[in-house]
Chain A
């Protein structure tokens, strides 16, 4: 009876707290930078600062006067190797639709980056750059150690297959 009461209480707590767990977190900008892309003033927001490699964050790109009637793209240029640059269209942030943004994004590698904005709108095209976005080293344990821990099920599978291989030797139907 007591066990049943504990079970029911746990289930009740789970149901009661589910709405909070289901809620999608709003974008919480903790740092901003200003970029002038031709006639367009852009406020770049970061939900984590400083930016660290592999640590995900939300980027927001708010244009003075709003994003309606405007379009464009963003180019990330790694200072170490500009040939590794990548670009993507400026899309509305899924959790803050009135601005452009990138949701739950992480920079894979530490180092210096430039963010180049190419914007087109009623005032014509404009280009601007946020230079010197410094991405710090990744937090946490070395990546090699993390991968070693993650590979344990694979090691287990390989050991299982090797054992099965050896134990069935000589009994195989060919």
Chain B
């Protein structure tokens, strides 16, 4: 069925915004792989350019949408919340910004500021030895804000099929991208693997949000994430190898070429999503926390066997895996109701009924 002009209103800007976030995801997975397999780094490597371009494209899309909404509002038009979310008056009511574009744009602006801080950090600490340096986490969180804004922009158009599909795709991109943020929890690892618990919390949040947003949303989002995992599994080692050949750099000795970032995405997510779907869609008060506990426990507990399998490493003592699964279940218990609430909030993003303040 062709998309008519009125149905497609808002689609171009939303697609450009999403394209920017996909650029960011490509740049991230490629850059992490590059450091692992090749090594030498400059400000202008191709993976870095993808990361900069991603935020630039998203930022310009957000700015354009805000300026267009402001101009229309000043000309007397009533802002339509389905075009990016409820209108927010900012800078002393000088601008009218659709909520999704406002959040996405703030993320892109914040990316610029953290980029400057990252440059200062390089001067003090040298080139980055690790992905989880404080400025990097600031940069990655800024992109995450842009991703959240993208989810809101598509969620606001949930009356259209493209809005529902776009929101689920954006949630999958958010889930794939934010796997890198769990690295920030590495220093907390002990008897319990904090990174695996954080990963479980993130996945339960997006799963519950997608399920509450639209019919079979959680399962469809998990399938989208699996597609992203499969594509980047092939892409990141391939792109690193081809780029290294193109610029005349050798691969590292002992570079295993296992996909680094894609290997972090839980492979069990689709099965877990199917398993907890009946609970997440149940009206019972305890169903969502129970679904979260089951999903959180399974996801946190299966992370270590997954990485041992991918990287051909030893399994830790069973006691540690079970303890991590238990903490994952507790965190999931809280994350699922929160995620479900976010999904319901998302359904209201394009609502035309006035808000109760």
Contacts and interface: CB of A to CB of B under 8 A. Distances in A.
Interface of A: 18, 21-24, 48, 54-57, 89, 91-92, 94-95, 97, 103-106, 139-140, 143, 146-147, 149-154, 156-157, 160-161, 164-165, 167-168, 170-174
A97 to B, nearest CB: 7
Contact of B138 (A24, A152, A172, A174): A152
Interface stretch (B141-149, B159-167, B319-327): B141-149
B40 A94 contact: yes
Interface string B116-155: 0100010011111110001101100110110010000000
A126 B263 CA distance: 37
A47 to B, nearest CB: 9
> Which label, helix, strand, loop or mixed, suits the secondary structure of the A interface?
mixed
A23 B43 CA distance: 10
25 contacts: A18-B44, A23-B42, A55-B126, A56-B126, A57-B126, A91-B253, A94-B250, A104-B39, A104-B126, A106-B125, A139-B125, A143-B134, A146-B135, A147-B134, A150-B135, A151-B141, A153-B144, A154-B141, A156-B145, A157-B141, A165-B345, A167-B355, A171-B348, A171-B355, A174-B283
B41 A104 contact: yes
B138 A153 contact: yes
Interface in B90-123: 103, 106-107, 110, 114, 117, 121
A147 B138 CA distance: 9
Contact of B128 (A21, A56, A152, A172): A56
A23 B252 CA distance: 18
- The 4 closest A-B CB pairs, nearest first, are A91-B253, A56-B126, A106-B129, A153-B141
B249 to A, nearest CB: 7
Interface of B: 38-44, 103, 106-107, 110, 114, 117, 121, 124-130, 134-135, 137-138, 141-142, 144-145, 148, 249-250, 252-254, 283, 341-342, 344-345, 347-348, 351, 353, 355-357
A153 B42 contact: no
Contact of A171 (B134, B342, B356): B356
Nearest to A97: B250
Contacts of A97: 250
Contacts of A103: 39-40
Given A18-B44, A89-B254, A91-B253, A104 B128 contact: yes
A173 B254 CA distance: 55
B347 A24 contact: no
A94 B42 CA distance: 14
A139 to B, nearest CB: 6
A149 B130 CA distance: 18
A145 B46 CA distance: 32
A94 to B, nearest CB: 4
Contacts of A153: 107, 110, 114, 138, 141-142, 144-145
B42 A21 contact: yes
A60 B341 CA distance: 54
Contacts of A94: 38-40, 249-250, 252
A172 B38 CA distance: 50
Contact of A168 (B38, B40, B130, B348): B348
A24 B344 contact: no
Contact of A150 (B103, B107, B138, B356): B138
Contacts of A22: 42, 44
A160 B134 contact: no
A140 B121 CA distance: 9
A82 to B, nearest CB: 19
Contacts of B129: 54, 56, 104-106
A152 B344 CA distance: 26
A149 B117 contact: yes
B341 A165 contact: yes
A140 B124 contact: yes
A170 B357 CA distance: 10
A98 B198 CA distance: 42
B215 to A, nearest CB: 13
A170 B124 CA distance: 50
A18 to B, nearest CB: 7
